[in-house]
Amino acid sequence: MKVSYNWLKKYIQTDLSPEELGKILTDTGLEVESIEKIEAIEGGLQGVVIGHVLTCEKHPDADKLNVTTVHIGTEELQIVCGAPNVAAGQKVVVATVGTTLYPNPGEAFHIKKAKIRGVESFGMLCAEDELGIGHSHAGIIVLPEDTEIGIPASAYFDLSDDFQIEIGLTPNRADAMGHIGVARDIKAALNFHQKSKLSIQWPAVKELTATGNLNIDIQIENQEDCLRYCGVSMENVQVAPSPEWLQKALRSVGLNPINNLVDISNYVMRELGTPLHIFDAKALKGNVVVRSAHAGEKLVTLDKVERTFNGSELLITNGEQALCIAGVLGGDSSGVSNETTSIFIESALFDAVNIRKTARLHGLNTDASFRFERGVDPALTIYALQRCVQLIQEIAGGQVGMEMIDWIGNMPSNKKITIHLSRVNQLIGCEIDKESIFTILDNLDIQVLQENGDEINIEIPSYRVDVTREADVIEEILRIYGFNLVPIPEKWNLSLPISPKINKDQLQRSISELLVGKGFSEVMNNSLTKSTYASQLGMGQLQDDHSVRMLNPLSQDLDVMRQSLLFGILENIERNQNRQSPNLRLFEFGKTYAKYASGYAESSQLIVCMTGQTHSDNWLTPEKGKETLVSYYQMKAVVLGLLERLGFGGQLQEKELKNALFSDGQSIELHKKTITECGWATSEQLNAFGIKNPVYYAVIQWDQLMDLLNRVKIEYSELPKSFAIRRDFSLLVDKHVKFTDLRQTAIQADKKLLKSVGLFDVYEGKNLDSGKKSYALSFTLQDGDRTLTDQEIDQCMSKIQSQLEKECGTTLRN
């Protein structure tokens, strides 16, 4: 939230600099994220001074130019001027050589030494529009005769700069959503730490007296969501641009001026934190009815969007048609226009939960909903209305058309809480004397009702809707006392927990480091995602009705919890590809969520992904057009290496993949449980994200792996004393037979001597029967204690060949 330094100083008298105020606000819990200087006029009129025209003569070679001599306090300058009103004896505004002016925002105009029609000129005499302080170009600015020569123009025109202070407002600090709320914290901190006696300077308001005749009947039908409703009408107002001071104030907090009526309502909201809404009285037709929406009812809002209601929203109507989404956004047909002369001003208190649900349902986040969602001060409802009416009368004229209506429903009362002094010191961790605690409470407008030894009964002000329990009050005391004043103890007492056999966090870090060492980058995506991913790209594997939906989604793009880690990774690839980084190695540890008839399911997973070229461009890579893309087997090798690192190397079984989220691939089982699915993304998924290269990925069921780790036993063996022997087979197999099937069959044939099986050549083509392919396999045999004889090797290979022919239908090629 943005606040103005100059605006703040209207409510609290202090000479502290913006930086000093920023430190105080941060220390009290309103963290200042930035302080930005706002110049009253761009460039600040640096180099522009007040001068005295000593002489004024006609230019020898130009009828419309004059040659002047101007005294600027330190020297006399010769300046050629074309203004028709320049004359000797005048006090004028002089832009000296080297000055930069900004006649229009962002358009710089540099003053240089020049020769005009043969006469040298050392500056410029300025008109209003050239300085950016007005629009007139009829002539130069002529100042009163008693104006002091040589003073800066910025000082003469009283162009005080402002500072925009941006606060990272936390959701609980609803009280600081206006300048006066921020000023309260400054007052409390300065009064406690510097023993100041500051108080908030509230703008004076008057009771409203009806002098016109514009009665509006108010009916509150939904008394559950409307807690208080105040309103008053005004006649004969004149819509026009706001005065300069009001426009300047709004710009200082990042708002664009619209017209005087709208600007006044925005000004009061930024001043007090209380949203107001102004209706064109013609649209009301004499009635204001606050009711729930009808299912299917429609309204075109101020943003020109037609919105359809589901019946849960709270609306402001004229009894016939909807005019405004209460507390969120006004209607296009009932707002203030240039033709408006009669208005109705609303100052209300709506249920925070209803406003939050409505805003999220329609994807809106307005200044009004931002405040109502967090809770506005019910005590300021009438004051804000009176303040708004008074400003309108000062700026836009008009008179009050009716007696003010103040309907009060189930309005919350001030909370009463009991705190204990011993508990204050216990939670804070240091001793704060009783007098200091009472001083802080008083400066926070927290009233002490009764004191009974260690026990204190207090009443919380209405604007602190977030303070509901003893711990909240203690936090308030601490933030004013100062977090930095709590001493750090010299001695720490720690209880060291017994580490479990498997430290899951440490294991996850080890795997992350392993993947990073292989060139992968870790990503962390939002657990909230689009529901359309499951319904449109889930390929039947993910069901939309299994999605865990948000009751109050932040947006339509974050309306469900993710069922798969895949789509977050695809978003990452799309973003990087669009920024000229298509070669990616990514991984993410995360959770997925689903809802079934039996209940909710949550599981931890690891997704590993590769796409793009095998190597980044360098002098060794192939020429353009011949680059090598990563393959499925590279992805699979990374996954197998990871599982081997966890101790599962010799126990894995590869199976056919039956998951429609993958275009193809393999699943890996351990103890008859699928722990990994490895393959590549479907063309539909790639097209949806505009991804050009194949994407290979593996999903590892992390929870299952952690459970299976308890079965892993570390085994040690001697280094073999003999050499390994390799034998090769060239086999003719059916096309549907996979290498994994051949390897498993061979291992089952001889588990003692056969150490590994490899595939080093695949051939499909001419000279082979239809439906056949040729595999060249390598077999590594070894006995750890002695060298194998030829007879033993032949017996082993014969056994393997026989088993392959029987189980897989292979034929040995000649």
Per run of 10 residues, the mean pLDDT along the chain (length 814 residues) is: 93 93 94 89 88 94 92 94 93 94 84 92 92 84 92 84 91 92 96 93 93 94 96 96 91 91 96 96 95 95 94 95 96 93 96 93 92 93 96 95 95 93 91 93 95 94 93 95 87 70 84 93 94 86 86 82 94 93 94 92 94 78 69 91 83 83 89 90 92 94 87 76 90 87 87 88 85 91 89 91 90 82
DSSP 221: S
What pLDDT, on a 0 to 100 scale, did the predictor assign at position 735? 87
| CB-count exposure of residue 7 (10 Å: 0-12, 13-18, 19+) | buried
Tell how strand 162-167 and strand 329-330 pair up: unpaired
Task: Name the 3-class secondary structure at 124.
Answer: strand
- What is this structure's pTM? 0.64
What pLDDT, on a 0 to 100 scale, did the predictor assign at position 268? 97
Q: Which residues of 761-797 are buried (b: 16+ CB within 10 A; e: fewer)?
A: eeeeeeeeeeeebbbebebebbbeeeebeeeeeeebb
Report CA-CA distances (Å) from 745 to 525, 596, 748, 794, 802. Answer: 42, 39, 5, 18, 10
What pLDDT, on a 0 to 100 scale, did the predictor assign at position 616? 72
- Which residue type occupies 450? Q
CA distance 33 to 28: 14
CA distance 373 to 165: 23
CA distance 670 to 672: 5
CA distance 140 to 624: 66
What pLDDT, on a 0 to 100 scale, did the predictor assign at position 626? 59
CA distance 69 to 88: 9
Cα of first residue to Cα of last residue in the chain, in angstroms, is 81
- Which residue type occupies 702? W
